[in-house]
Amino acid sequence: MDKLQKLFKLCKSGVFIEYNEHKLYNDTVAEFLIGQEERGFIDTDTWDKMIERDTIVGIEFFPEASSDAHTVYHYDLEKALDKCLEIVANLQSVPMELSSENLN
């Protein structure tokens, strides 16, 4: 729970966690993820284990603003939280002049 609490504190605009949402729609893991526009990059090993375990942990989080969404999918909650915290740490290390908000 420490990782989850840390993510809560780092995200100014919210954190949403879903567990096995694909089962609500009677989809397989692959069917569900292929239909998700924000699925992002899922490495092959993680993809294979998600299918093998028939498990999806989805975390959508907003470190800065409501338009600053990031989504992580995994088969393991702790590993998904690690990835979320890594993303937030990388965002915080980007100089302000290089942030996406200032590129337009």
pLDDT digits (tens, 9 = 90+) for 17-30: 999 999 999 999 99
Number of domains in the chain: 1
Indicate the pTM of the whole model.
0.82
The helix/strand/coil state of 61 is: strand
DSSP 8-state secondary structure symbol assigned to residue 1: -
In a domain, 59, yes or no: yes
Asked if residue 99 belongs to a domain, the reply is no
What range does the domain containing 14 cover? 2-94
**Token digits of residue 82:** 């690690």
Q: Please determine, for residue 96, whether its predicted confidence score (pLDDT) is greater than 60.
A: no
* Residue 47 tokens, joined: 């993809």
Q: Answer whether residue 19 is part of any domain.
A: yes
